[in-house]
Amino acid sequence: MIDECLVAEFRIEGDDCPLAAATEGLDATIDARPPQLRSDGNVLLQFSAQPSEELSATLDADDRIRYLHVTHADGRSNYRCLSKHPCVVHELVDEGFLVESMRYENGGSTMRGAVVGYDVLRGVMEAAGRTVGVSLQRVYPLRTDDDEPVGRAYELTPRQEESVRVAVEMGYFDLPRPVTSEEVAAELGISKTAFLERLRRAQGSLFGSLFG
């Protein structure tokens, strides 16, 4: 039995994936679930974003996207579709990378997941080295109490999970509070309003899960 499980975060630049291409030049961020690869090479995608007619139109106009379906709930647009374009992430999956979340913005993407042991990490890193534009951003041990990602356990989006995590790391919830919401927002690279909105939505999901 292998005791060490690692969380790894990769950044992909220069990928012509339809979701990455759709965010090029748009003020849009797409949060995606791990893509599902079919035996015919096509990929099933499920993702969400802030409502944007321009983003929807861009995706709909992409010849690589088929059967695009959009629903709206809780201030988000939820998309499902089939993509005829292979995802770079599958090259890492083939080496043992367990994808948990993906985020597309500014024409690139960030993926977060787990690898079981350093030997698997080396194989994943070798695969990343053979793939243009894939770089390791950070890696750290998975805690023994992390049976599943926080976002999945409490239905948080990757951006909400990141905002809560950074806020905790910076002491935003401590008393007395050593940092302001503006400082946390600056660390995240977003506005104060966007940070507080993410935080309220995350708290709503967390408290809803705890108290029904």
pLDDT of residue 12: 87
DSSP per-residue string spanning 157-187:
-HHHHHHHHHHHHTTTTSSS-SS-HHHHHHH
Residue appearing with tokens 């600056």: 186
The CA distance from 130 to 127, in Å, is: 5
- Residue ranges of alpha helices (H) inside the chain are 18-23, 53-61, 89-93, 118-130, 150-153, 158-169, 181-188, 192-211
pLDDT of residue 80: 96
The CA distance from 163 to 209, in Å, is: 18
From first to last of its 212 residues, the chain has per-residue pLDDT tens of: 566 788 888 888 877 789 999 998 888 899 999 899 999 989 999 999 989 999 999 999 999 999 999 999 877 899 999 999 888 888 889 999 998 889 998 888 888 888 888 888 889 888 888 887 888 888 877 765 555 544 454 567 778 888 888 898 899 988 888 999 999 999 898 999 999 999 988 888 777 766 65
Structural domains of the chain in order of their starting residue, each with its CATH number: 5-141 (no CATH), 150-211 (1.10.10)
CA trace torsion 156, 201, 29, 75 (10° rounding): 110
- Whether this prediction's pTM lies above 0.75 is answered by no
Name 82's bridge partners.
44, 66
pLDDT of residue 154: 52
pLDDT of residue 193: 92
pLDDT of residue 179: 92
The CA distance from 204 to 182, in Å, is: 21
Backbone angles phi, psi at 128, to 5 degrees: -65, -35
Distances (CA, A) of 26 to 43, 71, 84: 23, 20, 22
pLDDT of residue 150: 47
Please name the amino acid found at residue 161: E
